A and B are shown apart, each in its own frame.
Chain A
């Protein structure tokens, strides 16, 4: 795809001998939100976890193919460096439970090699503002991160990911553990984030994909069935499987 920030080419990923995704090729355009949808077990989480090389941190996993970030194959690069450029937010909020709200964000800066006190302070505030959490926590940034609600914890995780100043932000079903109000806040946030970042979001919720994504890819049984601008994919699906899925006949 022309202008793709990330371009996946012939990507297959394995757990042991099980092939979770099979020869997927898809591009994720810069400055846009791309959604990956599909029924449970279709490989959408596996795909997104390949994009920052988290897949290979699990035992007995393997990846084949190419994943280009700005034209460079990340499978040939140092994974630590890749993950600094491609941030990730997980299904369940996973703040560092022993750390304060402030430290959860500042530790990301430390990993990125920033140590100046002043710089860290400013970056923490900026990240919390970007994640729309600052107003709620500005009076208690030294409180334990786990004292926050689930939705706040997830926004803290987003702030933490943004603090490292990634180019791409991966979100693996970021709202699946959240209530509708918290979900709405995250969706608004995703829309704002795309002005600075390329966002790739996995969701099992088709309405969510329709609301937040510019492009949508539909996966089924580890294969890419269809990809295109969200509107046309939902209104004029080209594949029968896509149509059946979005009209709720399976999944």
Chain B
């Protein structure tokens, strides 16, 4: 055999050597990548398929239905959906200021030796299993809410109508408070990273103009990080919306639209945890699946928004402005 010789003008053909290692590698990661996609589509597909019976029975009325009546087999998602939205709102209302406060404290005010260790501890709180939070809420937080916080709220804010009814400590408010505690590490850790990534030149710009410590933080540092803080908050909201275990242990698990912060209630996740495995019939089962589908769509939406915002922040801070 003679090797072909290359003369001027011939196109250069580079033969790709067959490397079995590369082919196997490509196949393996390909299976992984496509597999995840298939899984997500399968989840959505199965939820849609299994909720068909409920959708045929109640149509769009399911979304505005305020009854979840197992005895009469009438199902609407509003009791659980309102529970989910109210507890998540309480979580953000209480958790956001604390989380942002801790993030700002750790990036701008705390002594330097404290920043790393305390930041790490906060990040570790995000990894504590939710059943541990739930257990603590059930035996420590709940009783405290019942004996101290809720009577006080009733005394001073009872006139608003939102803090009436028996104080039980297992209700919408307690679930919201435990969710607040659970979203703090998420919001705080990501906000801290965004705040720490603010260029020193922005801080120096404010300081050199005679800004006080507060003014430097307020005008020089926080505005630069605001999109990242918003993204962090949305991720925290995502956690609150989907949290199951701790909520199921504290919310009281009653299928009714809450009328007060002291009402026993249900979130979509606690509904699924409580009723799916012992549902009374195919229609209830299907309705629970449909509620789950709605929760999935809300969570997906929230996460997509958060990703987009975080992506924008990364692009800006890596851009030409600095």
Query: Which of B201, B208, B223, B322 is in CB contact (< 8 Å) with A52?
Result: B208
Question: Which residue of B is nearest A157, CB measured?
Answer: B205
A14 at the interface (CB under 8 A from B): no
Residues of B within 8 Å of A143, CB to CB, are none
A238 to B220, CA, bound (A): 45
Contact with A along B187-224 (1 / 0, CB 8 A): 00000000000010111111111111001000110011
Question: A86-94, A118-126, A229-237: which one contacts chain B?
Answer: A86-94
Known interface pairs A97-B224, A107-B219; A84-B210 also in contact (CB < 8 Å): yes
Given A96-B220, A97-B224, A83–B207 Cβ distance below 8 Å? yes
Cα–Cα distance between A107 and B212 once the two chains are bound (Å)? 12
How many contacts A-B (CB < 8 Å)? 70
Q: Of residues B204, B205, B207, B224, which shows the largest number of chain A Cβ atoms within 10 Å of its Cβ?
A: B205
Whether the pair A81, B204 counts as a contact (CB closer than 8 A) is no
Q: Using an 8 Å CB-CB cutoff, how does the interface string of A149-162 with B read, 1 for contact, 0 for none?
A: 00000000100110
Tell me the chain A residues, 139-190 only, with Cβ under 8 Å from chain B. 146, 157, 160-161, 164
With an 8 A cutoff between CB atoms, is B226 at the interface? yes
| Of listed A110, A111, A157, residue having the most chain B CB within 10 A | A111
What's the tally of chain B residues with a CB closer than 8 Å to chain A? 22
Complex: A83 Cα to B322 Cα, angstroms: 23
Interface of B is mostly: helix
| Alpha-carbon gap, A87 to B226, bound state (A) | 27
Distance in Å from the Cβ of A208 to the closest Cβ of chain B? 21
Asked whether B210 lies within 8 Å of A112 as measured between CB atoms, the reply is yes
The reply to whether A161 and B208 contact each other, CB–CB distance below 8 Å, is yes
With A and B bound together, what is the CA distance between A52 and B210 in angstroms? 9
Give residues of chain A (35-61) contacting chain B, Cβ–Cβ below 8 Å.
52, 54, 57, 59
Contacts of A94 in B (CB 8 A): 199, 201-202, 204-205
- For A222, the chain B residues whose CB sits under 8 A away are none
B219 touches A54 (CB 8 A): no
> Of the candidates B205, B215, B220, B226, which one forms a contact with A90 in the assembled complex, judged by CB atoms under 8 Å apart?
B205
Asked if A54 meets B209 with Cβ closer than 8 Å, knowing A96-B219, A96-B223, A99-B223, the reply is no
28 contacts between A and B (CB under 8 A): A54-B204, A54-B207, A57-B207, A59-B112, A80-B210, A80-B212, A82-B210, A83-B207, A83-B208, A83-B209, A87-B209, A90-B201, A92-B322, A94-B202, A96-B205, A96-B206, A97-B202, A97-B224, A97-B321, A98-B223, A99-B223, A111-B210, A112-B209, A157-B205, A160-B205, A160-B209, A161-B209, A164-B210
Given contact pairs A54-B208, A90-B205, a sample of 19 additional A-B residue pairs in the complex whose CB atoms are under 8 Å apart? A54-B204, A80-B210, A82-B210, A83-B207, A83-B209, A90-B204, A92-B322, A94-B201, A96-B206, A96-B219, A96-B224, A98-B223, A98-B224, A110-B215, A111-B215, A160-B205, A161-B208, A161-B209, A164-B209
- Give me the interface of A with B, judged by CB distance under 8 Å: 52, 54, 57, 59, 80-84, 87-88, 90, 92, 94-99, 107-108, 110-112, 146, 157, 160-161, 164
The 6 closest A-B pairs by CB, nearest first: A84-B210, A94-B201, A88-B208, A98-B223, A83-B210, A94-B205
